[in-house]
Structure 1
């Protein structure tokens, strides 16, 4: 593995920790700040919206910046945002800190995903992507359980201080390991870059990303609450369960990358969305049993995020053939789609919890995942046809 890819993975680990550590802290934050559980859950949506807005807009604005300098600057902004969260005195200031870190997150993954594929031969692009995004999955294994444990024992503020340290380590890794001579194609004029939004092939993938990735978040946002309220786990038992989930996510992410390289992104996505919908239905049936719920959570982790490398590789391939001078922006819009899915999933989850109840979240999540599976089947009809080119 190129050392530069290791640097990207370190940064992805830090970002993954700060994005989802909030899931394990939602009950704690809700109690400490005297806000409702759905209000605390919306901290996930706020972060995701900042990513969704920041990824395409800031990717376009920074398209002429040297890649290494941009990555270093983004990790500096990310670290600063987590320090603000560490010192946040209330809900409003915590929301502002989440917005700041979310802006850095969006551009990092839109640029980092392109850089990762440039570091390896084309036939290994999905595995390089999966390796970078494995930093996110390692965050599930180590960062999120650690942050949850710290939050429960030392207060949720301390969790963000630890994440800031992770961000600083990633910044130093980028300085030391990312080469300064990364190939950077000439950026298209501003008006031509936004032609990305006129490409039906790309728009179809963005819809698959938002619905397929975000659907799972309807239930995942309230995983800690499901474990406590539906199955009866004690707060101190959450860390081991979340760690087991994270290990499963790490394995599933790497498997998703290999599946994509072997069979192509469309077939990989059909397999992964089909399995995910099945697991979410199973979650709805097993959430009242501790042993069955743990086994379901492990299966959930194995398929929940394995679609990430397939979706991003599919976008890059489409963009290289339809808008080759705006690949960064096309990748940025897919990062937006991921996080619109996260924001929408968390918001829908909050509405489901408020209007129906916590137990309904897996069933609604399964329904959205089936919609993504249907979109994948639709895309399969066009996948073998020549892609449009802009003239």
Structure 2
């Protein structure tokens, strides 16, 4: 890969980290935010849920509307909005202003992430695209997992304002790097809105959406309660729970690298095997999750598979609609968020009705539905190939 392309992908990876860090890093700050703005923790939770809702709503829309504009200009616009929102959150004394300062940038979240995936794939040869995308996903994983403890540490060691300023600092750094080192990226072949929207008429698109929802539900329906599982089932002390959460995050990044290689070589075989691999992990989790060392190993393997799953989901959508990459990536982001939205509450329902160990059932059931959808999707691909002959 040329040096210029490596620098571009590095900036995109850091940019995605900054965006996801802004989204997820706030989770560890909710008690401090509730105290600062004199609201309940549940009210402070709107800073998380409203952000996610805005992402889900804008995912298919804004990437499509901005798909014809120079990609560098769009990325600078999004980063500028995030910097401004972050800075307002640092200095405001109003909870509602802080909420608006998060929700407005959230609408632009899918735009940057979609562009980052599209530009990374387009910057290399077609056969190297999965590896380039996998590198960008390292920023996604780091933003989702590493941002929370970093922000929490800064808030406890210095202040809440400095933790919020950390979000702004990352985005400012990426804004400067993009302005200085990313070349102009005009859209060479602009795809008409109608042509991009036409992918919604394809059954393959909707089968891909369903598969992504089920796979992400399988991952996050269980992962959302990992800390609770480690506390109540494995009976681990708090410090060990923190360590294993870091292990999961680091393993997630390793999974991104592995996925890039697997998807570049034997994509469909790998897609078929994934539900069985993750399902085996959940079965082991159910029967050995009360034992500390087996649980540590399971968490490591689980984290790797979760990182692989994120890349696989993006591949499913992009391979279904390669001629509309921006819109397809927007659909991917919305589908992935819907998977989390469905999986997490269903997992909580299993815990409430049957107990914490049975949270694995939401993962296993989602994997069953996901596999059925993947089989249907593959059958549709084979039927399309036969018709084209």
Bin of the TM-score, shorter chain as denominator length = 0.7 to 0.9
Separation in 2 of the partners of 1:279 and 1:311? Answer: 19
Highest CA radius of gyration, 1 or 2?
Answer: 2
Work out the CA distance in 1 between the residues paired with 2:21 and 2:177. Answer: 17
* Whole-Å separation in 2 of the counterparts to 1:353 and 1:25: 25
2:333 counterpart of 1:330: no
TM-score normalised by L of structure 2: 0.85
1:133-176, CA deviations, whole angstroms, 9 ceiling, x for partnerless residues? 11123336643432343345556665433222222222222222
Taking a change above 3 Å as real, the CA distance of residues 364 and 157 of structure 1, as seen in their structure-2 partners, is farther
Cα 1:291–1:259 change in 2 (3 A) is same
Q: What's the offset of the Cα at 1:371?
A: 1.7
Hey, what does 2:170 align to over in structure 1? 166
TM-score when normalising by structure 1 = 0.84
Confirm or deny: 8 A CA contact 2:59 2:111 kept in the other structure: yes
SS in 1 for 2:384: coil
Task: State the distance in 1 between where 2:80 and 2:201 align.
Answer: 34
Cα distance, 1:242–1:318 mapped onto 2, change above 3 Å: same
Q: Which runs of 5+ in 1 are unaligned?
A: none
Cα deviation code 1:341-380 (max 9, x no counterpart): 1222233344445555544333212321232122112222
What residue number does 1:257 align with? Answer: 260
Within a 5 Å distance, the mapping from 1:278-297 to structure 2 comes to 278-297=280-299
Cα distance in structure 1, aligned partners of 2:187 and 2:309? 27
For residues 61-104 of structure 1, give each alpha carbon's deviation from its aligned partner in whole angstroms, at most 9, with x where no partner exists: 21222100101111222233334554576876665454334322
Across the aligned residues of Structure 1 and Structure 2, the Cα RMSD in angstroms comes to 3.2
Within-5 A mapping of 1:231-310:
231-264=234-267, 266-310=268-312
- When residues 142 and 382 of structure 1 are mapped into structure 2, their CA distance, relative to the original with a 3 A threshold, is same
Query: Is 1:8–2:6 an aligned residue pair?
Result: no
Matches within 5 A, 1:57-96: 57-86=61-90, 96=100
Alignment check: 8 A CA contact 2:62 2:108 kept: no
The question of whether the paired residues in 2 share the 8 Å contact of 1:115 and 1:182 is answered with no
Give the total of aligned pairs. Answer: 381
Q: Name the structure 2 match of 1:342.
A: 340
Secondary structure in 2 matching 1:381: helix
Distance in 1 of aligned mates of 2:163 and 2:356: 26
Other-structure match for 1:137: 141
- Confirm or deny that 1:100 pairs with 2:98: no
Q: Distance in 2 between matches of 1:134 and 1:8?
A: 10
Deviation at 1:250, TM superposition (A): 1.0
Cα distance change of structure 1 residues 197 and 15 upon mapping to structure 2, 3 Å threshold? same
Instruction: Check if 1:204 corresponds to 2:202.
Output: no
Contact 2:142 2:253 in 1 (8 A): yes
Q: Which runs of 5+ in 2 are unaligned?
A: none
